[in-house]
Amino acid sequence: RRREMAKSTQLIDNEVFRAYATYTAIVLIKMMLMSLVTAYFRITRKAFVNPEDTASFGKGESAKKYLRTDPDVERARRGHLNDLENIVPFVGIGLLYALSGPELSTALLHFRIFTGARILHTFAYLIPLPQPGRGLSWAVGYSVTFSMAYKVLKTAWLL
């Protein structure tokens, strides 16, 4: 038992893996916060999608009018979905990349640029900033993930 416990903690003692764990936790928390942003806009804009969510506003027509879409709610939801589409590949490919033995400085560069780009992307989406602000921040994160995928395939390739 003791030897197993010791072994399982060694991965987290590896510096590249610790860096991966830190930035993955940060971007996943950032993604989770999108749920709160959506909830905030749903409540302040009174725009819901489930009838049971409007029951506290009364019954019948008085509640039904809050079953509607709102531009701010939809914008937050699109930002959340874009996070899923981009952060899921980062988490999966990033794990394999961290285990493929990169230099710590190179790994940190990848993780930091991706995390910064996704935080910028969120602000660009929610404010919103004029294009190409959002597009560029998306493209930077996307490119970082591709760069890590290249390293993974070069190291692990076994088809």
Which residue, 65 or 85, has its beta carbon nearer to its own copies? 85
Q: How far apart are CA 126 and CA 121, in angstroms?
A: 9
Strands (E) across 4-138 are located at none
Q: How far apart are CA 100 and CA 1, in angstroms?
A: 28
Quote the least distance from Cβ 11 to its own copies, whole Å: 5
Those residues whose C-beta lies under 8 Å from the C-beta of residue 87, and which sit 6 or more positions away, are 27, 28, 31, 118
**Contacting positions for its own copies (CB under 8 A):** 1, 4-5, 7-19, 21-22, 24-26, 28-29, 31-32, 34-35, 49-50, 52-53, 55-56, 75, 78, 80-81, 84-89, 91-93, 95-96, 98-101, 128-131, 134, 142, 145-146, 149, 152-153, 155-159
Quote the least distance from Cβ 156 to its own copies, whole Å: 4
